[in-house]
A = this chain, B = another copy of it.
């Protein structure tokens, strides 16, 4: 099985990497950019159940205070 976990900052929480990327793109001349948000992906392979992957998110992959996660089975 293959799971994709997407971890992103919650709306309203600062996203320093997204902001820095936006500034850099503006400096490079991309005036079209209105907002950049960043997120992390973990692609986990193995015979893990959805419940186990949920637990991994809560225990290690995401910070529940500032981040939210989404789990998707891709294979």
B-binding residues in A (CB < 8 A):
6, 8, 18, 21, 24-25, 28, 30, 32-49, 52, 56, 59-61
Contacts and interface: CB of A to CB of B under 8 A. Distances in A.
Closest 6 CB pairs of A and B: A34-B46, A32-B48, A39-B41, A37-B43, A35-B45, A32-B46
Nearest to A37: B43
Contacts of A24: 60
B38 A41 contact: yes
A47 B60 contact: no
A42, A59, A60 pick with most chain B CB within 10 angstroms: A42
Contact of A42 (B21, B32, B59): B21
